[in-house]
Structure 1
Amino acid sequence: MGPLQWGDVPTAVGALFAGGAAWFAFQTIKSQRQQIGEQRQFIGEQLRFMAEQQENLTLERAELRAAADDRKWAQARRLEMSHMEAPGTTDGQGRAVVDHWLVVLVNKSDAPVHQVDVRFGTAYTSSEVHDWNPLRSSPTYEPGERLVAPVHLVGPGRAVRFASQQWSSATVHNNRPTVYFTDDSGIRWSLDSYGKLDAVSDGDA
């Protein structure tokens, strides 16, 4: 073995430090890549969790809206309207002539309704309004106490009868009745002679 060549020592030390630096750099990069991978995995898990939470919130909101909508319509759907084209006069041969409408609204809900009125066609209002016994089978029976339209309040289990003006049979047929009322939560409704129930604005009513 020859004498140590001191000229080669700095080169060897430099090579050693360079190798160590490269190894540490490699380990640092490897660690950073691992951390980045873990962060991406964590972010992905968080995004999936947030998406699931958003989906759950959307479903909960939809259920709440459906429940609120059911509550909104619950009372109005329990009001029942019956109507008939009624005879009031006779022709020259003594036959009864249909000349007006009779409309009965029964409140079968457990709360009162307010400002109850009937419109015939688009322009005609009731000529007479009376308290009504909901157990009677025909609107032609003698009504109860006379009321003023619109009827301020119709309590649970109560009914009112509305009569139109007297017209020709054709005018009666062309001016079908629509009932308007405000439920106990303040929503205004219309119920037409075909059974179609709609929430309406005060202007429409």
Structure 2
Amino acid sequence: MDWIDWGDAPTWLGAVFAAAAAGAAVWTLKSQRDQIDEQRRFIAEQSMNLGLERQALLAAAQERHEAQARKIRLYPQAPTYVQVVNDSDDPIYDVHCEARGMPALHAVELAPSEGVGAGILADLVQGASRPYVHRLGVGREAWFHVVTNERGAVHIRFTDAAGNKWVCDDAGGLHEAGA
């Protein structure tokens, strides 16, 4: 036992344990950094997923917002008539038609089965109705007598069941009034 200096053995033993503790601390720090990096990647991926879900929800909300308005059809007929058809599931209100900036002269609401006969057109020409339709029911149509129904010159304004105001033109354009 002459080869061991017992006075230095506790120092050596302390140094070995200190080195082991330092190695364990380095290993723990690396492990924590790896976990933090993995969490950052996960959070970035989740943020991206949430962004995509938000975009999808906003698109769906906009589609629901426009759904009824997109089912309103505008058809120029004959030289001075415009037909508006409500193919939506709810009535629309305050339907006004304009041609070249001039309001319709007269309007009448019909069920499609009633058809547009000479009597209806005569009523429109003679003014047996008002110049707008207050409520256009589901599956019903309105006929407007206008000064012209020249392509690109006709548009309608109406309010949907949710109270949103819309403008629709004869080229299929649709936008919110005032937007």
Match of 1:113, as an amino acid?
A: I
Check conservation: 1:80, 1:105, Cα contact below 8 A.
Answer: yes
Q: 1:141 and 1:24, CA in 2 relative to 1: closer, same or farther beyond 3 A?
A: farther
1:57 alignment partner, one of 50, 74, 79: 50
Check conservation: 1:190, 1:199, Cα contact below 8 A.
Answer: yes
Moved more, 25-34 or 172-181: 172-181
1:182 is displaced (CA, Å) by: 1.3
Q: 1:79 and 1:47, CA in 2 relative to 1: closer, same or farther beyond 3 A?
A: same
Of structures 1 and 2, the larger Rg is shown by 1
Q: Hey, what's the Cα distance between the residues in 2 that align with 1:17 and 1:70? A: 78
| SS of corresponding position for 2:138 | coil
Aligned-pair Cα RMSD in Å: 2.8
Q: Deviations over 1:110-150 (max 9, x none)?
A: 101111101222x311111122343477x674327844344
Match of 2:104, as an amino acid?
A: S
1:89 counterpart residue number: none
1:77 alignment partner, one of 57, 62, 70: 70
State TM-score, norm by structure 2: 0.81
Match of 2:109, as an amino acid?
A: D
1:45 counterpart residue number: 38
Alignment of 1:25-36 (within 5 A): 25-36=18-29
State TM-score, norm by structure 1: 0.71
Check conservation: 2:151, 2:170, Cα contact below 8 A.
Answer: no
Of structures 1 and 2, the one scoring higher in RCO (CA 8 A, sep 6+) is 2
Q: Hey, what's the Cα distance between the residues in 1 that align with 2:20 and 2:56? A: 53
1:90 counterpart residue number: none
Q: 1:141 and 1:78, CA in 2 relative to 1: closer, same or farther beyond 3 A?
A: farther
1:168 counterpart residue number: none
Identity of aligned residues (%): 29
Moved more, 189-198 or 18-27: 18-27
Q: 1:48 and 1:172, CA in 2 relative to 1: closer, same or farther beyond 3 A?
A: closer
2:173 counterpart residue number: 196
Q: 1:21 and 1:193, CA in 2 relative to 1: closer, same or farther beyond 3 A?
A: same
1:56 is displaced (CA, Å) by: 2.2
Check conservation: 1:112, 1:184, Cα contact below 8 A.
Answer: yes
Q: Hey, what's the Cα distance between the residues in 2 that align with 1:147 and 1:110? A: 25
Does the alignment pair 1:162 with 2:136?
Answer: no
2:82 counterpart residue number: 103
